[in-house]
Structures are given as C-alpha cells and as structure tokens.
Chain A
C-alpha cells in the first residue's frame, strides 16, 4: 500500500490563533477516512491545507509523494465543500457549466470544454439521476440538488482522492443513502481514497476503515477497529472518549 497523503508535524495558524498543532498521519490509496472532531476542532482547516488553500505554518504535506506546495496535478483530487449557501442568486451558470468547472484542472490554456467532455458530463449526470437539471440555473435548483451537482463537479475529473466536507447535510434520507452508496462504490470498485468530514458517526462506522480524530491536536488516527471494537456501537466509543461532544448516529 502506498501513502498518497502524508502529513508530517503540521501546524496551521490564523494570525496568532493556532488552528492545528502537530498533526501527523499517513493516508493510503483506497482508504476511506472519517475525519471527525468538535466544531472549531480544525477539520475544515485540515482539508483546506491538504487542498493548498491554506499554507502550513509548520510541518508539511506530501500528495502522491510530492510536496503540496509544488503539487500541480489537482485533477487527482476532487473536493466537495460545505453546503453552498452562498450561491449568488443572480449568477447565470447552468448546472452543466458548474459541473464542467471540475474539468479545468486537467486543461492546458487556452482551456476548452470539448464535445467529448460534454458527453462525459452528460453520462455522469444521467448516472447520478440529475440529467434533467443540466440546463437549469444552479441558483434555481434545491439545496439537495445543488449538493448533488457539486458532487458531480468533484467527480467529473475521476479523482484519485475525494475530500468531502459535511456533504450530506442538505440531503433527504433517501438521497443520503444513495449518496453514501455511491461513495462506497467509488471506494471499493475504483479504489478512490475518500476523506469524509462529518459529525455523523453512524456513517463512519458503516463505511470508513480509518478514523482521523482531531481537536486542534491529533486525538486518534488509525483503523476504526482500534478505536472501537467490532460489534460495538461507534457512537458509544466517542461518548466514552469525549463526553462533552454530542455525537449522533444516522437513522
């Protein structure tokens, strides 16, 4: 197994405020990592630092063996940010155009979305059951549909790593099940490495093989079975280890 995300002694600061301190872990190809921690514990900060959006204050991150500051194969990493509450209602972007933005990292200038690209976008939208939304304005589809569109945008480049930041909050229970079934399929069949930020410990117990638990510092990193013995309710393991955090399990 090869390490495709290697984090060494990582510290991140916002001005004088320490957001992450001395985090180290190695994520292997094909891992499904549940990234958990309390609000303000640094989960999104860690994801953004992996994605190159925030600079490390100390330590370093290697992606596919390359220092993240020199890494330029961003098409290998798909990102689904937290729910898009901030989509500008005036923005005249169609769903198809938004999904096509996920292809830009693999393009050389002058960038162009080709007929073959549009065929791939059509196929993905059909596979995700949202092809009928392709020509609609992104601002005019529901929050749950927007979330599916953003997942399509993250998947269209066929990434080797998928980073998802609380992806299921806007989804109804049925869509949520379909969403996680798709992630499981990607992880098991395409060997896509998944880093899932969530407060839903139930999904972690069901799908993740590793747990990255941070509260500004590293609390735990390793196999789920080391954190919580098989057969035991994972929510109770969190409660035992960190009683002040309200963890919940999906129904």
Chain B
C-alpha cells in the first residue's frame, strides 16, 4: 500500500513519475477528444483508427532501417503510424460515402485488413537482421518499462496540443455532433469538421500507442465520455468531466502499475476507467440506475397513495398491501383498514380533485391543459383559481364522503 502512495506522490522513481504524468495527460486529452466522437455516435471509428496504426509502425521501422537509421526512433514510428491511421480513416470515409456499405462494416473491414497487414509487416521485420530486438509488439498492448524522457516529452506535448485543439474546435464540433444538417445549413463544412475531429482522435491514438497500446487506446477515447455523460446534461461540461475522469484513470492506473509487479500499465488504466464507469452507471444522479429505481419507487407510491385515497372516498376497503403500507405510514388509515380523520380529509380532497378534473375535461376547450390529466397532478397546478371555481359551480354543492353514511 505504501508503495502505491509513493507512486501516487511521484516518489516511486524517475521513470514511474514520467509514466504517471504522461498517462494523466494522455487520459485527459483522450477523454476530452473522445467526447465529440461519442456525441456524434461514431465511437467505434476510433477502433479502426487505432488498428490502422500498426502497418504504419512497421513501414516506418523498415524505412528507417533501410535509410541506415535506428528503427526504434519513437517520433519516426509515430509519424508512420499517423500516416497509416489517416489512410485508414479516409478509407472508412470513402467506403461509407461511395458504396452502400454502412459505417460499421467499413470500420470492421478497415480495422481487420490494416491490422492483418501490420501483422504481415511484423513478421517481415522479425526476419530482418535489425528487427530481432525491434520490440514493436510493445505497440500492441503498450509498454512503459523502458520509457525515455524523450518519450514522455512527446506524450506531454502531444497531449497538451490535443487538449488545446479540443478547446479551439469545441463549438463547431458540438454543433456538428448534435445537428449536422443544421450545421451544414449554417454554412459550416461538416465534412471538414468531421475530419478535424478524426484528426484529433488520431493524434490521441498515436500519442497513446507507446503507453496503452493500439488495442486498448480505444477504451481511453470511449469510456470516459460515456461515463461523463451520466453526470451532466450539458455538452460543455461533458468534455471537461470526461477529461478529468480520463486523466484520473490514467494517473492512478500508472501509479498502481508502478507499485506492484505483473501489472501492465495499459490494462490497469482501462480497468480503472471501467471501474469509474460502473460506479457512474449505478450511482450517478438523474441518469444512474439507482436514481432511476428511486424515481420509479417514488412514482409507484404516489400512484398507490392516490388510488388508495380514492378508494377510501368511495368507502371501499383497501386490499393492496403496498397501498395499505403507504397510507398507514402517513397515518391516513388505522391498522384495521378504517380511515382516520386525516385520511377522510385527504380522501375528500383527492375525490374533489378527481371530480374537478372530470368536469374540466368535459367543458374546457384547451386540450393542451386538459391533456395534462394523468391521475396524479393536482388540478391547482394546471388551472387558475377562477377556472377551478367555474368547475365547482358545475359540480354543485358538497356531498359527504368517506365512512359509513
């Protein structure tokens, strides 16, 4: 446990601190950039982009070795991966636009074919004399063990640039995500904005290759925005909450991974993000599962209370156990099922409300108002006092309710 604290406070060594800061920044950038992808309902495009990086990594390695350089230069490899990811992205776009295949088919085709090509290139590299210790497999699942200061700088600078780009582009991207047709009518070039969004996603993917690996980087782009969506209904906030969640998952994940053996960084970060997602799914206010259950329960009790009181008003016995429970808890009936004075008063009120609604629906012209009758809303919330007085004149004088007559 103390080693985890050390790692969290950047005290677990130089390399671990580098990885932690890098992962935090990357997580923030990925969460923020992924938000638009999620809002545009194109989350899985990032999967195609991520898998499409592999052939670029292989080609860059081969090219750098052929030119007599060190094939493992990270900047070169990332540049190669960006190129092939961009090619994959354009292909997805081309297939969806030019043929009748849907986007998901295009995504699946591009990701599997590019990944296959990447694997072919990896086997070619393994047979090259310079390729035996290339370590390119590290890009599949990420590897942080031998991270250099230079690598961390690449991640930090790239992550910062990605966050800045998100900030600059947030308005057009939000507009396109919510209503692409309206954006087009406003004179925005929807296709260019979409491509810019994808470029952002690609940048995050490429930066994250070394740390999280190409199979799991999608998780950093998808899970934090989905999680953030539980906590707010405002798109502006989703971006920053997703960024914060992603950053937390990245930083804490890297710390956990540094503090214990056999804890691969990428999967730990993803599982951290998944844990935050599960928490939010159940506990978030308004959109969470627990909140929905509570809402349902409250609604159910309101219905039972109302129907129970109406039954009392008609001098009927209440049999339903939940209704009995609700009425007893409020002291409206005695344990033997007979209405108390308070119960009779409430029953009279509810019966009068129901009667007024009946009249209102008969004589009032505005269906927009009478349509709000749902058997629960008190009539005072919909009509003005003088309108209600008019209904009462139709109803006539009071009549006794409740109890034996």
Chain B associates with chain A: no
- B interface residues (Cβ-Cβ under 8 A, vs A): none
